[in-house]
Amino acid sequence: MVNNITSFYCRGSPFCRVPICFMLQNGKPVKNDVMGTGKHRRITPPQKHQWRELGAHNYIKILVVAGLFCFLFRNEIAGIVNRWLIDSSWSHGFLIPLFSLYFVNQKREEILRCAWNDELKPNYLALVFLIFGILFYPFNIVHLQYGYLRSVDMIATLGAIVLFLGGWQLVKHTWLPVAFLIFAVPLPERYYRELTIPMRQWAATVAGGLLDLVPELEATANGVVIDVFYKGKPLEPALDVAEACSGMRLLMAFLALGVAMAYLHYRPLWQRIILLASTVPIAILCNIVRVTVTGFIYVLIHPKYAQGIYHDMLGMAMLPLAFGLYGVLAWFMSSLFIDESDIVTEDIVVRKKDV
């Protein structure tokens, strides 16, 4: 009589990587004594936590704290929102709080699990930070009179509230949504202009060099102005890379979205850093493309197609281009480098016969 003993490995069970044997007798599989006679049980997936589990009393606390926070910083919040409305360079600010709320929702499981395990405990050291942040706000208004610090102080106070209410465990899962709000705060006008000047000069220099390659066209960049001679005649007025064409609007919006994408897509830390750092040169490159295309349209087609709504539409077209370049870089790194944790090893099946 021949007994065939087959051993194999079972994945995804408590017996993972442990040989389980069946003895074949008269062509019928029979469990041996080691296996026992237990029945198969279906493993139910863990239940997902929902925000309603926090309870009404916690939501009342949140509403009270949020109301006091908005009342204390009502003037600052109103000023920032008004800047979003009147300055197109900061119109993306309306999306930043929504992204922050989305980030918090992405950490819902971790936050509610900490709440369920009573890990969210008040941190009284944060009370010192909170009092300092509240007192610094009127001190800055009266003595320092530095507008940007008022907005930064508001965000820092919000972080102190989070630390005070939930401790370091809550900060661990919400630090980025709080810090992300800094992208909604307009930069001081002086610093904003100082940053735009070199970007305008780079765009003018590159665009002038490319325009100069066209036959019968001479282009010379002087600072942020491109003097153009076409077929021996100067074009008036000269091409001026205005502040709106500096690329700062695209840079700030794309930098914020780059942080969001690096946070939401799971990647090794070094890849996230590269993707985040790439947002700056990508935004600058896209703005150079915009200025160059505008110059060609202005000279070779008609000046009216380089102004007004056509100019704005060309600027909007640069955002898909920026995302395309960002996506190509992300795909390249994903294809070139493979994480060892993603390598799946196949199960080895061993068969042996005893005669």
DSSP, residue by residue, 280-295: HHHHHHHHHHHHHHHH
- Can you tell me the distance from the alpha carbon of 292 to that of 296, in angstroms, rounded to the nearest whole number? 6
Phi-psi region of 179 (alpha: psi -120 to 50; beta: other; left: phi over 0): alpha
pLDDT single digits (tens) 281-296 = 998 898 889 888 988 8
The token pair that represents 331 in the structure block: 């795909």
Give me the pLDDT at residue 178, please.
Answer: 95
Amino acid 172 reads K
Give me the pLDDT at residue 238, please.
Answer: 80
Give me the pLDDT at residue 249, please.
Answer: 80
Please, where are the H alpha helices in the chain? 56-72, 74-86, 95-106, 108-116, 125-139, 147-179, 189-211, 248-264, 269-296, 308-336
Give me the pLDDT at residue 352, please.
Answer: 53
In degrees and rounded to multiples of 5, residue 211 shows phi and psi of -65, -30
Regions of the chain with pLDDT less than 70: 1-47, 337-355
SS3 readout for 201-245: HHHHHHHHHHHCCCCCEEEEEECCEEEEEECCEECCCCEECCHHH
Sign of the dihedral through C-alpha 86, 92, 95, 99: negative
Give, as one character, the DSSP assignment of residue 12.
S
Sign of the dihedral through C-alpha 187, 189, 194, 197: positive
This prediction has a pTM of 0.72
Give me the pLDDT at residue 353, please.
Answer: 53
In degrees and rounded to multiples of 5, residue 307 shows phi and psi of -135, 170
Give me the pLDDT at residue 216, please.
Answer: 83
